[in-house]
Structure 1
Amino acid sequence: MTAHSIRRRLSFFVLLCVSAVWGLAVFGSFRYASREVQEWEDARLVEYAMFIARLDAADIEQFASLPINAQIELSWPGRQKSPRSDSDRLPRDIHFALTDASHRIVSNLPVAPSTFAAMRDNDGPGTVNVGGTPWRLYQFRDPKSGRNVQVMELSNTRSDLATEAAIRIVWPLLLALPALAVMLWYVIGRSLTPLGVLSATIRARNEHSLTPLNIASIPAEVETLVGAINRLLSQLRQSIVRERAFTSDAAHELKTPLAAIKVQAQVALTTSDPALQRLAMQRVVQGVDRSARLAEQLLLLARLDEQEHIPARILNTHDLIDEAVMRHAQRASDKGIALQGKPHSRHAIQADPVLIGILLENLVDNAIKYGHPDGRVEVITIDQGHTQCLAVLDDGTGVAQTDIARLTDRFYRGTGVQSPGSGLGLSIVERIVRYFNGTLRFGTGLDGRGLGVFVAFPAVQGPQEIEVSGQAKRTNTPSSATLS
């Protein structure tokens, strides 16, 4: 990765922007000064024209023989500029041609007055070319004396008045630029000090330190970065806690079935009774099955905890309910439990069919496991507004009110529970429900007894006719129905 200095880049671009703004300011000042010089020279021509128009005849004759020098700058000793490079120091003769009321012409022009007479006849100063030489000319008619005056001078094409104005603006800026660069370098460096402090704080930590960064007096921009780092540290801390808890729980829960498997294997090896050997091996198989199921559940929880992306699609829960009922029908029958599926919902949900199947598997398995012999278990779905409510109800002994809050804790099996199990089923159910933006709650089961588990998922389409048990049926359950 190529490292870039924020301080260097920021200083460079700030100086670049300042220089560009200064350049535009100097250019605008030069253009404005040039226009002002031109207007000033034109105003001088107008003044000369009005002045000559009001002279008497003797003065006019004298000016005709002695040209008016309107030199802009005087030559002083020590001046470095020569007239060749600066026309402001050249002699600037004001030429004129005066025509009086009797059409007599008095002129000090170097060329015939008729050359200019036919070229200008307007109210403002303008530029004319005579033999390739530009002249600035103004024509004035005095209504009182009837005189017509044309005043002209060679155009000052190399005037340095505007240039001098621009230079006087540029020089202080150029001298200030290095000082500005030094100040910018210092100020930006001071402003970036919190980043150095943050970097030093992070470098001082080891791989086991995941506590939030605590840096006092940081600017808002760096505070945002510190907040993002603290959130990342918090996520890492939670991930490590989950990983440690997973490892500890897995070791603890696998220890019991593995110990049981070892004991039964030892019994099978030491006994000579074929019936006892067979019983021990059956229990070994049961212990392996329990360990395998526990490992699958732990892996599923780890997968859900890590927020792994699981694709979802629109699915109909009726088929999944039918499959769950069919898978547990024999086990329910062995215990004398009447297991029924009653899917009345006309909505579909957005979820993964495999995970919803696991959810139903755990809920139905728990209901049969903790239900009374010769009891009932029902799996029901109904529509409640824009949600589909799935309920698994039994009429068993139920759960103590003090245990309900901990039913979704991992490896928690409640007080006085004798049935075998890992205590992960409802934890998996709760995680699947949250993964698909659903809600989970616990209540009373059938006939005011047992446990009811209620899951609500957002519906993704409106009511429609769906197939139940192979036949097209329309539910009679009203949309406002609720499950208690």
Structure 2
Amino acid sequence: MPQAVSLQSRLIRTSLFSSMVAGVLALLLFVGVSLYQTMQVQDQLMNEIADMLLISDVTTSSGQQVDELSDEFDIQYQLKDQQQVLTASKDFHLEEQSSKIKNNVSEGYDFLWQDLQLWRMYRAEDAELNMSVLVLQPLGERFKDLAQNVMGYALVLVLLWLTQWLILHFAVKRQFKVIHQLSKNIAEKNANDLTPIQQQVPELKELQPIVWQLNQMLQRLKQSLVAEQRFTADASHELRSPLSAIQMRLQVLKRKYPDLTQDLVSIQNDVNRGTQVLENLLLLARLDPTNTRQLPKTEIDLQVIVKDVVQALQPFATKKSIQIQTQLSPHLAILANEKLIFSCIRNLMDNAIRYVGQNGHVFINVQHQHQKLTMTIEDDGQGVTEEVLRRLGERFYRALGTKTQGSGLGLSICQKIIELHAAEMHFSQSSHGGLKVELQFPVNIHR
């Protein structure tokens, strides 16, 4: 089963991710614009320094201003008259390369790779004075302040994203209260309450189609339950009537033929048991497996129930020469519905007797085990395949290749009875060769 994904977390992540993408794009745009402006400003500064060197007297205050700008922005310069250096910055260290640069580089701006770093270079000439100026600046120097600004901007973005995450976490969680309340309202619905679901205020437009569809489904479910209840009542009436008539005729026959009283009593017991099975089936049809408190329960002794079942099925076992071996521990009391538990155990034992061969054996073991009361019913009949084990308990399912008669409802009825008692039923291959059915009842079952 795939792992469930939280819609709330996904909304938060999506909103935060979109904000982060927008912030990164803004940061890149900021860096691009800043790079362009910085290059423009610094190039203009280099141009002004070159003009000041060409047209001013470097021995006056203009020369001092050039040195101040040079020191502040790490700009190196050299002014030449033909091959003679008129003036240069004190840290100008490209003296050997200046003539080569002059020959290979035209006037204007260019880039130079020197001393393992990239330089921005500007060269200008004054043809009348026969002078040229070379201005250099390490490119990295231009972006020191820019790098600090970018780091500051990035830090502000991170803080904004953290703040946004906190706001989204609480805001989205608050909005989801409506969905959680709707989920709670749906969970509270049961067979006794199928009224339409009312969406909480404020109503969410996106949830309206879902609520509408749920209410439509509840309406259809209510109609189906009403139809089922009518069918159950009609079936109960129609089935009780012939059984009651048989009971009355048996009473008449007992008075008319006293010699047949013993046989008629057995028939009457079977009719009584059939009536009780009918009542149990009707009860199962009305009960909700998720609400075990609906089921009337009393404290019963499993040892007594098992003995009664064995006694009731002994004629069928004797007919096939089947031996029923029981191993019952004392103090086997549980809180359960006696009639339903009797029907469940009778169905399981009847199933074992049907499928075991002539002169076979049925083994019944009831004992306390790991804070549970465990009951096993095994037989030494034919082996059971894994496919059959997987399908046991399905309604109307009967294993192919068997010559026994049945409706395929016995084990499914047992399964529902066990669910109503908050117990467990497991099928497996028996070490004796046939089928093993294990029932596990909680020792402390509350009403």
Structure 1 length-normalised TM: 0.42
Larger radius of gyration: 1
Q: Which has a greater percent of helix? A: 2
